[in-house]
Amino acid sequence: MIESRPWENSDITGMHRLPAHAYFFRYDGADEALSFDRERSTGFINLVGSWYFKLFDRPERVSPKIHGELHTSWDTVTVPHMWQFDGFGSLHYTDEGYPFFVDPPRVPADNPTGVYQRVVTIGKLAAGEDIIIHIDGVESYAEVFVNGIFQGLTKGSRLTAEFNITDAVRAGKNLVSIRVVQYSDATYLEDQDMWWACGIFRDIYITRRPKAHVRDFHLWTERSGSDAVVNLNVWKDADVDVTWRILSEGNLIAQSALHAHGEGAWSSSVTITHPRWWNPEDPYLYTVLIEESRPDGSTTVIPHRLGLASYTIEGGRLLLNGVYFKMHGVNRHDFDPQRGRAVSMDRVRRDLGMMKAHNINAVRTAHYPNDPRFYELCDELGFFVVAETDLETHGFVATGNISQLSDDPAWEKAYVDRIERHVLAQRNHASIAVWSLGNESGYGCNFRAMYARAKELDPHRPVMYEEDRNADVVDIISTMYSRVSQMDDMGRYPMGKPRILCEYGHAMGNGPGGLAEYQAVIDRWDSIQGHFLWEWNDHGVERVNPDGTRDYLYGGDFGDYPNNGNFCIDGLVFPWQEPSPGLIEYKQVLCPVKISFDGDRMTVSNKRYFTDLSDVTLHVDIASSPSDSQSFSMRPGAIAPQESRVFSLGADSRPWEELLVTVTVSAHGRAEDDEHVLGRFQSPGRYPPDVPDGRDDVARAPIRVERAENSADMRVLAGESTFTFDAISGAITSWEYRGSQLIGADIEVGIWSPLIDNHHTEFNQLWKPNLLDAMQTSPRSASFTVTSHKVVVEMHRVLAAPSTDIGFDLAMTYVVSDTGELSVSVSGARRGHYTQVIPRIGLTLTIPHDMDRIEWLGLGPGESYPDSRTAQIYGQWRATVDDMYTPYVVPQNYGNRTGTTWVAVTNAHGVGLLARRLEPVDASTDFDFSVWPYTCADIDRATHLSELEKRDVGTLNLNHAVLGLGSNSWGSEVLDSYRIRFEDFAFSFALRPFQQHR
């Protein structure tokens, strides 16, 4: 066991004063010497390459205390990795609780420990150079040994540590050992919402450098009129002269030598006229070359990519280079379903590429610093970064004092160390807009000290911390999970400082809903300058099952207790990096070009902050029916940021309210054919609904009714349809058309749908206590009226929860026409005391499994809900039942389509039925539908993807009303306008059999 002791960093040398990539010495393998890479040292370096030296391939030995057994096979272990993801020890997930007795600074005596070793061959050593080992990520406590000699320790799992190992190394082979301990006093400061895991999870690499060198440098930009003033401070060791140059696309822009202003510290500034300012819409980077010259004639060049970015707060507004902006962002954890926090840079680049493709311009690094190369990518690709340091003490809520450590001066050094190391490592990045002191750790004297140190090291950037809610010291006020109405109040009554909604819209499972309403408020008020959806990625741990299927595991799946279940499955992106419907919705909400319509007049608004719309094309489609439209493309031109322009679409012989105008907004990359969609918009008009053709006209003939003696079955032959009714209850037991079965059980009226994560609060507080998930239908009476042209079945049923007086008296009517069509009318009268929200009101039909072709007129092509429909457009769509499946890691309600005019479900022969609304009391003709190869109960029972097995029948839901999604797993309830309640209702559907000609 490593004894926990008060925080000490005196053993750590270097402290990442200089970015670890600066000298570009590269180690090429265990059997080669360290050698200077001259090619990489003299020009622009893309740090996202593979040149980083990964020092360790595998741990040699692990304590037998891990998970109670000694592991001897290491063939599958690679590094960077977290050893629990290789089966050594057990994963444990909690949202906020520590997995051990809270007794700071002490941690469990049974403390998993891993020892990593590797023999490194180093070539001839020169007297005037240092050998440095860099560790970018090790959790949570590590001790470094070289040839058995202790070099130092490090805490701060996501903070880079550097050790000068010159005195311990020798030419030839060297044994490098790192002992990693899972828990230390530092663990109390690292209680972020994520899996408890440990090990070396980021790169380790070795560099050699001259003793006379630049130890650190700080570059920052200031505005002077229209010019950019670039300032450089350097801190040098020993006798070295420094000059520096700025280049743009290889051309020299400015250069200077530095003038001393104190021992070891030098400063200089240059002015760039006609600068190309950096911003996320145009992330232009200059190249800075800092050259060291030594008395022996040797030189070293330190390259750096410079974005001209000056962040200031003026008049209560945060500005970039004097320009107002908003951050439209996400919270991002490092996570890989096979490796945990040991993420590859390829995966990071894909993450950022997906964000860019979905109109996201900002990232909050929740809740710790990322790999140093992450910030390089954000500079390059164009993102604002809220750069959060490695600090969270959320678990102290269990002791009743979340501020226990934050307001204890004994922990000040530990707190300050975390922001100091973070700022020193990353302050030269243009992408960093705001420093964040941490997350959910209460408030106290240590945060005031952190703020002071951050401003001392980087006085040019603002600082935020959410739990400094009265803005005692912070420059930016941060708000978490405020409701839409609260945000509107905060915008209406600002506090004189910019405000950022650092977390909102909890994206757990199916959702979140209400993003358009949030965005309307965010866009309305200048004081609200950022919003970060929680969160980017599901944290599901991949398991390949024996049959080849994959599941993604969460809290409790490893026997971990206590745990927070699937609360880690809360991202906009599935673990395999596929966008969820929630991300598709967010993309449309964030579209930087807005389109609105007034008759044939179209207003195009540029919602960007820095660039015009010269790169944008509008693809316009004007339709009078799904099969009759005219299309053209146009360029809106150089509409300036935050400006609008009105265009005429031209006259048409049809009234505009009978036409549907769809505009797809695309932007071009560097190449003209590099075009990607930003968003889609539609006019409010609606063309007359088309329905699938193909049903032959049928001559009307008298309806025939057949019933065998002593049988409860009554057959109704109407047109080419044959219905079978239960003569006692009135239930439909079968409907056949042209030899194919259309439904195989009675049509059910229901209020339940598979539970989604965002409705668990409603379930626990309202639905489960009142047994709404166990509603039962009881027939009370049925009567048949038969004429030659129709059969009318009138029923009285009760839909009620057992053990309660809660229910509906249902009046239900079936009408079979002589054409073989069926209409279903339902009214419900509430019984009992319950009047709160319910999941839905609608019909459920049991259909054959081969009726798996879906066509509909309405919103599509993706799934949509009343409060999550902005990304979908009105049109005629086709899909299969499998196409409509959304693989939420925890199975739940999925596949809903709202705003539907009609839906047709057919088999491979084109035989099926078409459903549409009959005019109800409220005159609305739109409805919602979903189709599954499962039952509602199947989906509710399943806890992992592999547990869903297709049935030999399908489920078609035709819904009169559907509850909005909200984000109440941890966020905001469904907005009032999207709630449906346990109240009286009435609706009707018409079901028409047909055969579509193919």
One of 412, 420, 503, 535 is an active-site residue; which one? 503
- What is the β-pairing status of strands 713-718 and 704-706? antiparallel
User: In which residue are the tokens 């929680």 written?
Assistant: 534
Task: Provide CB contacts within 8 A for 83, sequence distance 6+.
Answer: 59, 62, 66, 77, 89, 114, 197, 198, 199
Residue 13's CB: how many other CB atoms inside 10 A?
Answer: 16
The sheet that has 713-718: what strands, in order across it?
704-706, 713-718, 721-726, 732-737, 740-743
Q: Is 321 left (phi over 0), alpha (psi -120 to 50) or beta?
A: left
Which DSSP string do the residues of 463-505 spell out, in sequence order?
Answer: EE-TT-TT-SS-SBEEEES--HHHHHHHHHS--SS-EEEEEES
Q: How far apart are CA 717 and CA 705, in angstroms?
A: 6
| Cα separation values, 690 from 469, 631, 687, 718, Å | 56, 20, 9, 25
| Of the candidates 201, 285, 210, 219, the residue with the CA atom closest to the CA atom of residue 250 | 285
| Of the candidates 747, 729, 913, 724, the residue with the CA atom closest to the CA atom of residue 716 | 724
Q: How far apart are CA 360 and CA 379, in angstroms?
A: 14
Q: What are phi and psi of 931, to 5 degrees?
A: -135, 130
E-strand ranges in 614-659 read 616-625, 628-634, 644-648
Burial pattern 821-836, b for ≥16 Cβ within 10 A else e, equals bbbbbbbbebbeebee
Give the three-state DSSP class for 99.
coil
Helix (H) or strand (E) holding 954: strand 953-962
Q: Where are the alpha helices (DSSP H) in 31-78?
A: 38-41
Length of the chain counted residue by residue: 998
Whether 440 sits among the annotated catalytic residues: the reply is yes
Nearest 5°: the CA angle 10, 12, 13 is 110
| Of the candidates 179, 187, 186, 201, the residue with the CA atom closest to the CA atom of residue 1 | 179
Decide: 82 and 17 in contact? Cβ < 8 Å.
no
Q: What are phi and psi of 436, to 5 degrees?
A: -115, 135
Decide: 540 and 569 in contact? Cβ < 8 Å.
yes
Nearest 5°: the CA angle 506, 507, 510 is 125
Give the three-state DSSP class for 235.
strand
E-strand ranges in 889-939 read 897-900, 902-906, 911-917, 927-932
The sheet that has 985-995: what strands, in order across it?
776-786, 790-800, 807-817, 822-831, 985-995, 911-917, 902-906, 853-860, 873-880
| Of the candidates 267, 252, 240, the residue with the CA atom closest to the CA atom of residue 128 | 240
- What is the β-pairing status of strands 432-436 and 463-464? parallel
The sheet that has 204-210: what strands, in order across it?
161-164, 129-135, 204-210
Decide: 240 and 214 in contact? Cβ < 8 Å.
yes
Sort 171 into a burial class: Cβ within 10 Å, 0-12 / 13-18 / 19+.
exposed
Q: How far apart are CA 587 and CA 354, in angstroms?
A: 10
Give the three-state DSSP class for 422.
helix
One of 139, 162, 388, 440 is an active-site residue; which one? 440
Question: Active-site residue numbers?
Answer: 440, 503
